[in-house]
Amino acid sequence: MVKGNMLYEGKAKIVYETDNPDELLVYFKDDATAGNGAKKGIIDGKGVINNKISAYFFKQLKARGIKSHFVDTIGPREMVVKRLDMIKLEIIVRNVVAGSLVKRLGLPEATPLTSPIIEYDYKSDELGDPMLNRWHIMALKLATIDEMNQIEHLSLSINAVLRELLKAKNVDLIDFKLEFGRDKDGTILLADEISPDNCRFWDADTHEKLDKDRFRQDLGGVEEAYQEMLNRLTL
Ligand code: ADP
Ligand code: UDP
């Protein structure tokens, strides 16, 4: 695999072309942002940890019949993935009230939800990732109804798998963000990453936050929390 031109530099990762037109190389950075880029910083070693945690989750999902873009890990910060036509949506799945839902629903943080909630954000830095519903998605032609049905079904299945895996590590999955894309046959595949950057992980007993909220809320112990999640999942 030969690393080619840089395609895109995002807030947390850099995407490169490779000598295979159907595959990309994703490089995981230590850069961290919050509040749509308003707060910026570095979380030392985050890229290495997120590369490992994402690969772990993608492999576990594959073993349970859920396909993703993951091809291989080829370096401490480098993952080879299938090149996808990305759907410009952030799919947010919630099991417990936290983050922006506290204000929106007027419920205290940590209130369990009786069934999961799925939300969609339009992936647009300029617009500040506004929340959309299916009607916006249809009107903007971001995805078809059939694709949205598949995405919801996959998201709920992924939620069930992740919750079960994490429960065994004494971690509650509060909420998380997924991204999906289409491969060259039009099949919808899970993409991007699954890591403490885009999931809320709480210790099941103490509710200690083991994710990017430690950075967002200046709680300290940020690097330690990322390392703790990697240890719990893989040691
Ligand atoms: P952001 O764009 O939110 O700042 P990142 O820094 O994580 O995000 O950059 C990674 C970019 O790569 C994102 O825009 C994401 O949608 C995109 N991406 C993730 N997986 C794939 C894939 N398999 N094919 C093409 N693009 C992808
Ligand atoms: N999330 C994300 N990227 C975003 C927005 C949210 O990864 O651009 C994740 C976030 O880590 C959390 C979940 O989606 O696990 C729900 O986030 P929420 O909408 O509550 O975001 P907040 O307003 O708290 O950042």
Tell me the pLDDT tens digit for each residue of 154-204: 999 999 999 999 999 999 999 999 999 999 999 999 999 999 999 999 999
Question: Edge-to-edge, what's the strand order for the sheet holding 13-18?
Answer: 3-9, 13-18, 23-28, 78-82, 70-75
pLDDT confidence tier of residue 37, bands split at 50, 70 and 90: confident
Ligand closest in space to the Cα of 79:
1
Q: What angle do CA 20, 25, 26 make, to 5 degrees?
A: 160
36 CA distance to ligand 2 middle (Å): 10
Q: Can you give the pTM of this predicted structure?
A: 0.98
Pocket of ligand 2 contains residue 179 by CB under 6 Å: no
| Cα torsion angle, 34, 44, 46, 171, sign | negative
Tell me the pLDDT tens digit for each residue of 69-112: 999 999 999 999 999 999 999 999 999 999 999 999 999 999 99
Partnered with residue 199 across adjacent β-strands are 176
The separation between the first and the last C-alpha atoms of the chain, rounded to the nearest angstrom, is: 29
| Spatial distance between the Cα atoms of 225 and 208, rounded to a whole number of angstroms | 9
Tokens coding 108: 């205290």
Sequence-ordered list of residues with C-beta below 8 angstroms from that of 161, at least 6 positions apart, any chain: 60, 61, 64, 66
Ligand closest in space to the Cα of 71:
1
